[in-house]
Amino acid sequence: MEWTRRILNFIFWVAVTIGLIWVLIMSIGGGFPVSLSTSEATIKWDISYMGWELLNPANGTLAIDFNEKKEGWGSLKIDYKPDRKRPPGVFCKHFGFEALLQLKFWAKAKNKCTVGVRLQDKKGELEFLVPVEVGTKWTHYTLKPDDYKNFAGYTGRMDSNRFGGYIEFRDMTKNPSYKENTLWLDTLYIQR
């Protein structure tokens, strides 16, 4: 009876220790949202764990790439063929962009391409899209609400409280020279 209690106690503490080590590793590696700055309310998301979907499931594959990454555990890898009618890409509805000050992310591609980063308003009526040129090496991109305003042709103050939780990355390359491409996305920073 005494040995059984000691063994169970030992197993309990081993499990607690393993759990604490796992939480520490995940928070350092980016598996959980990690607050980087309390004064600016910046949240870092490991982009590969957030429920992404293909815009056009018939064109492309979506995977986590543990080898080709910039930060954290892995990057989001999208393999696709160019399509002018239905631009290939990915979207996710699980983020909150209200009161957005900056949106930062890492990206690279097998072939240089133009990627549209699209946000949607809370009602789903307006779309805000900014094109970024993605090269073959990891590049850190920073977008601000005024970048969306300028592209959409708005004048006056841009109210970042109108952004909803939807984000999309789509290949908008005009007349691409490639027959297929791969886009990698990594670590999304949302600063409020």
- Domain with 9, as residue range(s), is 1-30
Who contacts 6 (Cβ-Cβ below 8 Å, separation ≥6)? Answer: none
- Same domain? For 68 and 161 the reply is yes
DSSP string, 117-166: EEEEETTS--EEEEEEEE-SS-EEEEE-HHHHHHHHT--S---GGGEEEE
Question: Can you give the CATH number for the domain in which 186 is found?
Answer: 2.60.120.260
pTM of the complete model: 0.72
The number of domains in the chain is 2
| pLDDT value at residue 21 | 64
Side-by-side strand order, sheet with 53-54: 53-54, 89-92, 163-171, 113-121, 127-134
Q: What are the C-alpha distances in Å from 105 to residues 2, 94, 135, 191? A: 55, 16, 14, 11
First to last CA, the chain: 56
| pLDDT value at residue 32 | 41
94 CB burial (10 A radius; 0-12, 13-18, 19+) = exposed
Q: What is the overall mean pLDDT for the chain?
A: 77
Residues of the chain with pLDDT under 50: 24, 26-39
| pLDDT value at residue 41 | 56
| pLDDT value at residue 133 | 95
| pLDDT value at residue 44 | 63
- Same domain? For 21 and 109 the reply is no
- Same domain? For 98 and 114 the reply is yes
